[in-house]
Amino acid sequence: MTVPEPATSRPATAPSTTSRPTLTADVPDIAPDSARPTHDGPLATAQSQLAGAIRRLGYDEGMHAMLATPRREINVAIPLRRDDGSTALFHGFRVQHNVSRGPGKGGLRYHPSVDVDEVRALAMWMTWKCAVVELPYGGAKGGVAIDPRRYSQAELERVTRRYTSEIMPMIGPERDIMAPDIGTDAQTMAWVMDTYSVNQGYTIPGVVTGKPLEVGGSLGRATATSRGVVHSTRAALHEAGLDLPDVRVAVQGFGKVGSHAADMYADAGARVEAVSDQYGGLHRSGGLDMQRVLDHVRTTGSVVGFPGADPIDNTDLLTLDVDVLVPAAVEGVLTADNALDVAARWVVEGANGPTTAEADAILAERGVVVVPDILANAGGVVVSYFEWVQAQQAYWWTEAEIEQRLAERMLHAYAAVAEVARREAVSLRDAALLLSVQRVAVAHRTRGLYP
């Protein structure tokens, strides 16, 4: 049994002499030592997903070790002179998981829980995400263990510039391109770009994406991840003969991804019945008035306290009686403890790694359709690629052009994954992993192993 490129895919760039791997159930599910996570968490989930794909594709231990192990990683100390004159020290990381298909691509996260294993997992997921939407990138990720809410804008600028200077040998428009993530934004990317450019002696907008329009950013980038989530949801619903006006939606996480996605769902006619952020949530049967919710958040900084809706916590939101659940906050929120209670028919992963391997198996057994993160939230990296292309050409596209190209790319990727899922009788996640892992492995084998 083989996993050929789906009929909807563009022609492969690898030579025709490259053989396709066969699927087998006989390869033992044993990860090489270098692939074994040291504790439970995002890395354990990522490694478990990879091990399953390796087993089905029939790759040997050497290929497994290569795909499981980051190509490069750096751990840096970041001293900060605080506004009051005192000194604080933070730890930062940058991981390039795989660069067989092109330069590394991945966000920069500022959060107090950041550690190297989390960054390794996120970088691996970026490898598969770029491959599943057929971008000429490998996967990378960065992070600093800092709570940005506790520091001034000037302090965050100094942290960003010092972090950039420490990892500068690893990054560049042909090496590794950063983008915003949790705790960072367009301004953060402008600081990274400026620090890198000043050290190189000329302006290099392609070193980051997700930067302000004034310094080479792209129209449509701020909402791209959310649009990709909505496109993926619509594609999944169409397979069941439904559309967005037919469903009720709950969105966990009301940040850069969740807030825009909730607004887009409502605009498309869906009834968004629940939303939440880190402080709490709202629930209203029949749907929330999203414009009023957004106005409330702009005024107060949280969805909490919105009049005309019942309060709900993040845990209870995950098991609400809705049709579509969108976990768009952080990883690991759907677990073996709550997967049996999920009432939604569709789970569309707006966040990276929100579903543990155990929960994924439970949801699949119950017939819940999970649109995986490496497909559902790939809209951000797709438009990041568009921004990078525009920077390389110094020619800028209209927002309508970007939206059209994003929709085409997302729907094409969904169709390719769905075709593999039907052919191989596997879940959408397994199909996305089979397709993306195979594409990375073919690129690696086509390039060969440097002595």
pLDDT, averaged per 10 consecutive residues of the chain (451 residues), comes to: 50 35 32 41 90 94 95 97 97 97 96 95 95 96 96 98 97 96 94 97 95 93 93 96 96 93 96 94 95 95 92 93 94 92 96 90 94 94 95 91 95 96 93 96 92 75
Does residue 213 lie within any of the structural domains? no
Verify that 260 and 360 share a domain, yes or no.
Answer: yes
- C-alpha 24/C-alpha 244 separation (Å) is 38
pLDDT at 352: 86
Is 6 inside a domain boundary? no
Same domain, yes or no: 237 and 353: yes
Tell me which of 146, 168, 203 is where a domain ends: 203
Query: How many Cβ atoms are within 10 Å of 351's Cβ, its own excluded?
Result: 25
| Whether residues 231 and 177 fall in one domain | no
Residues 233 and 294 in one domain: yes
Q: Do 166 and 253 fall within a single domain? A: no
Residue 183 placed within a domain: yes
* Amino acid in the structure at residue 339: A
Place of tokens 């980038």: 221
- Residue 444 within a domain: no
Among 371, 388, 403, identify where a domain stops: 371
Q: Indicate whether 155 and 253 sit together in one domain.
A: no
* Complete DSSP assignment for 230-247: HHHHHHHHHTTT--GGG-
Q: 316 lies in a domain?
A: yes
The whole-angstrom separation of Cα 356 and Cα 47 is: 11
Domain termination site, one of 323, 342, 371: 371
pLDDT for the residue 330: 82
Tokens found for residue 215: 């310094």
| Domain extent for 188 | 72-203
Write the DSSP symbol of residue 6: P
Nearest CA to 74 out of 153, 175, 147, 4 is that of: 175
Q: How far apart are CA 31 and CA 55, in angstroms?
A: 10
> The whole model's pTM is what?
0.85
Residues 254 and 345 in one domain: yes
Say if 17 falls within a structural domain: no
Do residues 175 and 257 share a domain?
Answer: no
Write the CATH number for 353: 3.40.50.720
- Does 308 fall in a domain? yes
Residues 229, 366 within the same domain: yes
Provide the annotated active-site residues. Answer: 141
Is residue 198 domain-shared with residue 233, that is, in the same domain?
no
| Domains in the chain, number | 2
| Whether residue 228 is found in the same domain as residue 365 | yes
Assess if residue 334 is contained within a domain.
yes
The arrangement of strands across the sheet holding 310-312 comes to 310-312, 280-283, 271-277, 248-252, 324-327, 346-348, 369-371
What local confidence, expressed as pLDDT, does residue 40 receive? 67
The per-residue pLDDT for 25 is 31
| Dist. CA 182–CA 141, nearest whole Å | 12
State how far the Cα of 127 lies from the Cα of 66, in Å rounded to an integer. Answer: 13
